[in-house]
Amino acid sequence: MLGDGTGATVAPRKTPDESALERARERVIVALDCSGERALELADLLGEEVRWVKVGMELFYAEGAPVVRELKRRGLNVFLDLKLHDIPNTVRNAARVLSSLGADMLTVHAGGGDAMVAAAREGIDQGASQAGLRAPRLLAVTVLTSLDQDALGRLGVDRPVADHARLLARLACDNGADGVVCSPMEAPLMRAALPEGALVVTPGVRPAGSALGDQSRVATPGGAIAAGSTHLVVGRPITKAADPRGAARRDHRGGRPGAVTRS
């Protein structure tokens, strides 16, 4: 803090580049798909470079609530990606517990229906209020990106995938969800279908020129933002890098804007 001559203190002014980097840090969510020990090691390694981490089924089922508490203790925002899908009463109670752990984002499957999404919202709000915490943002998964038109047809859904995803996204947001998780290819559709301010969180992000892994529909960080993503989920390009901190910093700087690629 610097003195401004009045006895008050003011924060040092950030350069435009630093401000842009700071905004980018708020958007990147590092997926910790690994052991509990490695997750905490990565959290320490990434340090100030990362504000958000994602805990999915693999890590949560192995380590449970303590790993969430440890990540929170390190000052990180936690996206708890457990994709709840059950009867409304069960989802309400599960959401209440997860919210009381201090999660900052939670996921449900929109396919659980309007009453289930509304129940998740209620549970989240109750859990946070009982624990004296800010309520997590509720995100809905629409059509899993692993399902194509044929697979959807075999589930008895004959409308185009995009129409089905839009229907589920609207249903979720009409019932208390704050946004959706979707591929960068669907981000423009979601942006157009959802209210201003809805979150559009996209995995499948790869810095230009990096390995795709098992992702086939990918965007660069800049491309995903240009497509309408509010947050980017990046896993292996950061967690498997020889220098995860350096890789995170490079991701914040983005790739070629507009570069959404199919393989």
**Residues taking part in catalysis:** 83
Cβ pair 232, 253 in contact under 8 A: no
Tell which one of 31, 103, 119, 185 touches ligand C5P (CB under 6 A).
31
Residues 66-125 that bind ligand C5P (CB under 6 A): none
Smallest distance, Å, CB 213 to ligand C5P? 5
Q: How far is the CB of 175 from ligand C5P (least distance, A)?
A: 21
DSSP 3-57: E-SSS-EEPPPPPHHHHHHHHHHTTEEEE--S-HHHHHHHHHHHGGG-SEEEEEH
Contacts (CB under 6 A) with ligand C5P, residues 186-225: 203-204, 213, 215
Nearer to ligand C5P, 176 or 184 (CB): 184
| Residue 235 touching ligand C5P (CB under 6 A) | yes
Q: Which of residues 144-173 bind ligand C5P (CB under 6 A)?
A: 145
Q: How far is the CB of 14 from ligand C5P (least distance, A)?
A: 29
SS3 content of the chain, % helix, strand, coil (to 5): 45, 20, 35
Copy the structure tokens of residue 213. 């892994």
Please, how many CA atoms are within 13 Å of residue 132, restricted to the half-sphere of its CB? 0
- For the purposes of burial, counting CB atoms within 10 Å of the CB of 232, is it exposed (0-12), middle (13-18) or buried (19 or more)? buried
Alpha carbons 35 and 89: distance in angstroms, whole number: 31
Q: Is 33 a binder of ligand C5P (CB under 6 A)?
A: yes
Q: How many residues at the interface with ligand C5P, by CB under 6 A?
A: 14
Which residues of this chain interact with ligand C5P, rule CB under 6 A? 31, 33, 54, 56, 145, 183, 203-204, 213, 215, 233-236
